[in-house]
Amino acid sequence: MQSVPLYLSEMAPPKYRGAFNIGFQLCVSIGGLSAFLINYGTEKIAGGWGWRISLSMAAVPASILTVGGIFLPETPNSLIQHGHDIQTAKTMLKRIRGTDDVEAEFTDLLTASEASRKVERPFRKILERKYRPQLVMSIAIPFFQQVTGINVIAFYAPILFRTIGSGVSDSLLSSVIIAVVGTITTVLSMAIVDKLGRRALFHIGGVLMFVPQVMIGGVMAAKLGDRGGLSEGYSVLVLILICVYVAGFSVSWGPLGWLVTSEIFPLEIRSAAQSINVAVGFFFIFAVAQTFLAMLCRMKAAIFFFFAAWVAVMSGFVYVLLPETKDIPIEKMDAIWRKHWFWKRYVNGGENECEGIKIEMKKTMTSS
């Protein structure tokens, strides 16, 4: 969670960065689908020991990650930061871009690396006024990603469907259907994110999540009540609405929550900001997982209205405070904050410092 999104964003060309980065979320979705399929199959094993197979199968992707990591090359950013020969980093950049015309991008990498070397305490640095947009996003985006309610579906879909009247096998099958929908729509997000842009997908996803949650809450409040279950027809309707909701999440906040945060942080605070991003995300995953069952018992159908309200808030947040990052090199991402109507008041104070570093780096390269 800490390194993969950053690695993909640093390696990918700006034009296709969104698609490359969403590959991370696609693999997560495929992993979830595989887990649901394994659970659905092992649940039918007589004797009740199928859970052992389900649990041990997690060693397979872990082994692939361990072995595959050995063969991954370092990013040009990392090579420069860790003191490798500049020409080695430049050769790597040419290799991954497929062209020798990388002078402009390489100059930006050197400038960012020089600024990064001057930062001794990145966690203190990120508290400075000029990094206020990045600090806010590193906290707000993972928080909003979890209060969409997606992990309620991911963790407790079988329990939820059993609550509304489905059997054990039916509830697991419903989870498989939801996982299939999530995987397919993640592929769709990969195909369109670099064409439509991040903000457009956030808005589309907000509508696709808000409407189904309100409708699910209404159906369950009207037809389920405090006891009993839903009829088969209404159970199918709830399943369809949940699939629409999952599609909305998988095309927007699911992949974009990792994509946007991996491309907006300048090199000098990138690791610190991503650490905050991951820590906040896992904290709220934990919080939602620990509180959902109690909330479901107390709030009943109103829990869907609760999460729908958060979807409305986060959609407004994106509309007002998140600028578009499509097609912008990550080492030039500071420009979007300088032009933003709200954030420019925080970041423009540090513009002269950055320009000074660029001038010094150009002089150094010219003399070399």
315 lies in a domain?
A: yes
Q: Domain of 309?
A: 4-45+119-332
Residue with tokens 């150094």: 364
Q: What is the pLDDT of residue 301?
A: 83
Say if residues 135 and 273 touch (Cβ distance below 8 Å). yes
The confidence score (pLDDT) of residue 206 equals: 96
Q: With CA atoms as reference, report the closest residue to 23 among 246, 181, 254, 244.
A: 254
89 part of a folded domain: no
Q: By 3-state DSSP, what share of the chain in percent is helix, strand and coil, each rounded to 5?
A: 80, 0, 20
295 belongs to a structural domain:
yes
For the entire predicted model, the pTM comes to 0.85
**What does the pLDDT read at residue 288?**
87
Closest Cα to residue 159, out of 171, 147, 146? 171
Output the pLDDT for position 170.
65
Residue 66 lies in a domain: no
Give the number of domains in the chain: 1
In a domain, 112, yes or no: no
Among residues 133, 189, 144, 190, the alpha carbon closest in space to that of 333 is found at: 133
| pLDDT tens sequence for the chain (368 residues) | 889 999 999 999 999 999 999 999 999 889 888 888 888 888 878 777 888 888 898 899 899 989 998 999 999 988 988 888 889 999 999 999 888 988 988 998 898 888 888 888 889 999 999 999 999 999 999 999 999 988 777 777 666 666 665 555 666 777 788 889 999 999 999 999 999 999 999 999 999 999 999 998 898 888 766 555 667 778 788 888 989 999 999 999 999 999 999 999 998 899 899 999 999 999 999 998 888 888 878 888 888 899 999 999 999 999 999 999 999 999 899 999 999 999 999 998 655 444 544 545 555 555 55
Is 92 inside a domain boundary? Answer: no
pLDDT of res. 357:
46
Residue 196 domain flag: yes
Residue 111 placed within a domain: no
**Alpha-carbon span 350 to 338, nearest angstrom:** 10
Nearest alpha-carbon partner for 26 in 263, 286, 329, 256: 256
The reported pLDDT for the residue numbered 228 is 57
User: What CATH number corresponds to the domain at position 152?
Assistant: 1.20.1250.20
